Amino acid sequence: MTNVSCFFSEFLGTAILVLVLLAVLDSGNGAPPSGLVPLVLFVTFLGITASLGMETSFAINPARDLGPRLLTSMVGYGKAVYTFRNHYWIWCPIMAPILGAQVAAMFYDVFIYQGHESIVNRRSGRTGRRTANMV
């Protein structure tokens, strides 16, 4: 796979996981009973792993790649650890999950979330109706 394909695979996997996590844990949403939350997260994680995990070894957590990479550079592998495949390590396992989580959280806030803590959807002072406060 190319670096771009790996980036979007990690981006999409993280975005789906964060979107489901936000939806399940939102009390204002029709969330499942608290006993089913681990099952919903397990099924989501299993689906993401089965569909997107094979391409990049499923590094949706940047610590899964950065820690071993730092250790191998300390024990003598040198620059080869960081320059492999045109700096693959910074874009795919580190930047893609961070950006995927941010995009998923913004998507959830704009299109789904209805709480008063939202930075985008707030109640209008005069009418009491929800308005989108686009900056």
Range of the domain at 17: 3-132
pLDDT digits (tens, 9 = 90+) for 49-99: 999 888 887 777 788 888 888 899 899 888 888 887 788 888 888 999 999
What is the count of structural domains for the chain?
1
Length of the chain as a residue count? 135
CATH at residue 99: 1.20.1080.10
Tell me the residue type at 23. A
Q: Are 108 and 22 in contact (CB under 8 A)?
A: yes
- pLDDT per position as a tens digit, 13-29: 999 999 999 999 888 77
